[in-house]
């Protein structure tokens, strides 16, 4: 798939949200909990990472998690994702005007960097491994 063009309507200071499944939560030896790098790797044939634009949901986090009651939500800045060389593309759907894509999906090394920069917005009760 050819590289998509970056969408300039997504500002660098915009917050991108990524749903984090319970099995994608990393428990660090020091007791901290963060998204694992695998949370920022795409597993679909599109090879594009699905995110949500926080500004377009007016920070209504429940809306993003509505169909996924066990998932958590992490935030990362659009500028940080771009600084790693990725394009951001608006990809609204009729049900989700906030949907966007990180193109292409981050490499393992970049996924690790993104995971370490991500901040929890909603952290559902994770069970230690």
Residues 67-98 have pLDDT tens digits of 898 999 999 999 999 999 999 999 999 988 99
* Angstrom distance (rounded) from CA 124 to CA 21: 10
Tokens found for residue 121:
């917005």
Query: Span 55-76, mean pLDDT?
Result: 87
pLDDT digits (tens, 9 = 90+) for 88-127: 999 999 988 999 999 999 999 999 999 999 999 999 876 6
Is the Cβ–Cβ distance between 35 and 102 less than 8 Å?
no
CA distance 75 to 55: 12
What gap in Å lies between CA 84 and CA 88, rounded to an integer?
11
Return the pLDDT at 59: 67
Where are the strands (E) in 1-129, listed by range?
Answer: 15-20, 25-27, 33-35, 49-53, 72-77, 87-90, 99-103, 119-122
């Amino acid at each position: 798939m050819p590289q998509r063009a970056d969408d300039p309507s997504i500002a660098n200071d915009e917050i991108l949200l990524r749903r984090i499944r319970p099995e994608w939560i990393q428990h660090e030896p020091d007791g901290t909990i963060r998204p694992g790098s695998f949370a920022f790797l795409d597993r679909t044939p599109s090879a594009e990472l699905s995110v949500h634009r926080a500004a377009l949901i007016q920070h209504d986090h429940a809306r993003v998690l509505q169909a996924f009651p066990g998932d958590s939500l992490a935030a990362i800045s659009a500028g940080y994702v771009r600084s790693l060389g990725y394009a951001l593309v608006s990809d609204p759907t009729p049900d989700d005007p906030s949907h966007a894509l990180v193109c292409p999906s981050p490499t393992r090394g970049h996924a690790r960097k993104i995971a370490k920069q991500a901040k929890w917005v909603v952290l559902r009760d994770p069970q230690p491994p």
